[in-house]
Amino acid sequence: MSVTSYADLRKDVKRRMDSAVEVLKKEFGGLRTGRAATSLLEPVVVEAYGNSMPLNQVGNISVPESRMITVQVWDKGMVKAVEKAIRDAGLGLNPQSDGQTVRVPIPPLNEERRVELQKVAGKYAEQARVSVRNVRRDGMDALKKLEKDGVISQDEHRQHEKEIQAVTDETIKRIDETLASKEKEIMQV
């Protein structure tokens, strides 16, 4: 991290911490909670026209009701490939075709699976916290360098350290709130 001013450093630290939270939210989007969400099928790749393509490039994915995802396949010849891709994706889903539409019912989660998903969510959150702490460490190192290079004084260094710590605390709090919300969603029957 090579910064020439504290303003650049603060922006960089904030941007990197925010991106850790965004990555966490994206990972949480892929955790199945018993409710249908289009993000559930994002990792699915279909063998189409001799290539591997993301599912959203061969059809429209939608959620008509809370326990059902539908994929409106654009090319009728691809319906079987889409069904196979969803079945083989390891998501525990069993798609059924109806003309050019593939219906994917979302089965309710059992208690054991919910607890498992909670643990996975906790691991994702811990990875995000570690990432934020690494950004804080990088920021603190950059502050020391700015002081050593004479760009900021010792008093400014102390003040900026407190500001970076405050941003870190705020970001960790957001991660914890996001985790609590996801755990509540997972445990909801």
Does the pTM surpass 0.85? The reply is: no
Give the pLDDT score at 111: 84
pLDDT band at 4 (very low <50, low <70, confident <90, very high): confident
Give the pLDDT score at 41: 82
Domain that residue 154 falls in = 6-30+110-187
Look at residue 1 and tell me if it is in a domain: no
pLDDT in tens, 19-47: 999 999 888 877 766 677 787 787 788 88
pLDDT in tens, 97-135: 888 899 998 877 788 878 888 888 899 999 999 999 999
Give the pLDDT score at 34: 67
Residues 6+ apart with CB under 8 A from 128: 20, 21, 23, 24, 175
Give the pLDDT score at 125: 94
Distance CA 55, CA 85 (A): 8
pLDDT band at 189 (very low <50, low <70, confident <90, very high): low
pLDDT band at 180 (very low <50, low <70, confident <90, very high): very high
Look at residue 115 and tell me if it is in a domain: yes
- Together in a domain, 125 and 150: yes
Greatest Cα pair distance, the chain, in angstroms, is 71
Give the pLDDT score at 165: 95
Report whether 72 contacts 100 (CB < 8 A): yes
- What's the CATH number where 45 sits? 3.30.1360.40
Residues 6+ apart with CB under 8 A from 143: 6, 9, 152, 157, 160, 161, 164
pLDDT band at 1 (very low <50, low <70, confident <90, very high): low
- Together in a domain, 84 and 49: yes
Residues 6+ apart with CB under 8 A from 27: 124
pLDDT in tens, 51-82: 888 888 889 999 888 888 999 989 888 889 99
Q: Distance from CA of residue 136 to its chain's centroid? A: 21
Distance CA 44, CA 38 (A): 11
Rounded to 10 degrees, the C-alpha dihedral 12/13/19/20 comes to 150
- What's the CATH number where 145 sits? 1.10.132.20
Number of domains in the chain: 2
